[in-house]
Amino acid sequence: MKKNKLWLLTTILITICCAGVATCHYCNNVHVIAATQYIPQAPDYSDTTMWITEDYDTEGTGADVFYVVSTWEKDWITADSSVSHYADVWNPTHRERMAKEINRVAAYMAPGNRFYAPYYRHATIEAFETQNEDTVYSRTRLAMSDVCEAFDHFLAHRDQRRPLVIAGFSQGGLAVVELLKHMDDETYEQLAAAYVLGYKVTPEDTLQTKHIKAAQNESDTGVTICYNTVKDVKYIKPVIAATCMAINPVNWRTDATPATLHDTITIILSPEYHVLVVSGYSGSEYKPYKNLLNVGDIHSCEPWLYSECLQKNIAVRARAWKKN
């Protein structure tokens, strides 16, 4: 009986000791983490401070562009030692970091258009560091809920006679895929194009909605443009880039026809792996991140390397939508 009690007491002590740690091998060499998780306050999309907007459509002939920013935050600890896996849209520092990307994208997507980008509680980079699909989709569920709420608010206030463009980079690209599933058929009919920059579209995604239709050329409408850039197909990161569709944003081909960008860069689409293979460009300005990003792939280049191509293509598809 004494042995049983001693065993039970030891078990309880080990359980208590190991609660709130990252790893435990008899409670040695552990990394303590916060005991509770903190969910930041939800955004209020009727509040104009939850948006970055630009109206450069002086003639009323452009598109409405809805853009979703990528991942900017790491896990962080609150004053009461709780961990948060999400960006805080009310935190000025978090907003400032998101705004860096949004404003830079707006510089080429907004001209001639009306541009809308919400702040949202995006999942922190640690979700993607796991490279585990279940963890990614579990952690991003809250973020995708915010984006869908923002999108519904945006739709309720836009002129439905205008062409609709949705775009997003990285986690924002995941959001674009989820928005295509979220939108109803009436909204889909307003869609000129959806741009998934630096993220994947899976076969399962295409089975969940009829709104995901792979782009085949420069001017088809109601389509999804998806691409990821690598130096070699061996560098594909499945959690981000194991996609079932792609198009070359330089020549708008879906075969392996080479395209030349900025005179010295060659972009070739791999029809087998659905990724862009680049040569003549090192991407050295983008530092590797924990063997996850920019290690053979050039993930961080996606919204910037092809910015001129994307700017022109948004206008082309918006005009094509109006004709149709």
Q: For residue 35, what pLDDT is reported?
A: 54
Phi-psi group of 39: left, alpha or beta (phi > 0 → left; psi -120 to 50 → alpha; rest → beta): beta
User: Splitting the chain (324 residues) into consecutive groups of 10 residues, what average pLDDT does each group show?
Assistant: 37 35 31 69 98 96 98 97 97 98 98 98 97 96 98 97 98 98 98 98 98 98 98 97 98 98 98 98 95 95 98 98 94
Q: How many domains does the chain have?
A: 1
Asked if residue 187 is part of any domain, the answer here is yes
**CATH number for the domain that contains residue 199:** 3.40.50
Residue 291: CA count within 13 A, CB half-sphere: 2
In a domain, 21, yes or no: no
pLDDT at residue 19 in the model:
37
In a domain, 186, yes or no: yes
Residue 44 lies in a domain: yes
Does residue 156 belong to any structural domain of this protein? yes
Is there a domain that residue 279 lies in? no
Asked if 215 contacts 193 with a C-beta cutoff of 8 angstroms, the reply is: yes
**CA angle in degrees (0–180, nearest 5) for 112-115-120:** 165
The pLDDT, as a whole number, for residue 291 is 87
pLDDT of residue 180: 98
76 falls within a domain: yes
List strand residue ranges (DSSP E) for 214-293, in order: 223-227, 229-230, 259-261, 265-270, 275-279
Q: What is the pLDDT of residues 214-271, one digit of tens each?
A: 999 999 999 999 999 999 999 999 999 999 999 999 999 999 999 999 999 999 999 9
Contact present, 126 and 75 (Cβ < 8 Å): yes
Q: Is the pTM of this model over 0.75?
A: yes
Predicted local distance difference test score (pLDDT) of residue 1: 41
Domain range enclosing 139: 39-227+302-323
Give the C-alpha distances (Å, rounded to integers) separating 181 from 140, 168, 178, 320. 15, 15, 5, 23
Task: Identify the CA nearest to 168 among candidates 155, 188, 189, 151.
Answer: 151
Rg over alpha carbons for the chain, rounded to the nearest Å, is 22
Tally DSSP H helices, then E strands, for the chain: 10, 12
Q: Cα–Cα distance between 206 and 272 in angstroms, integer?
A: 18
Report the interhelical angle of 307-323 vs 92-109 (nearest 10°).
Answer: 70
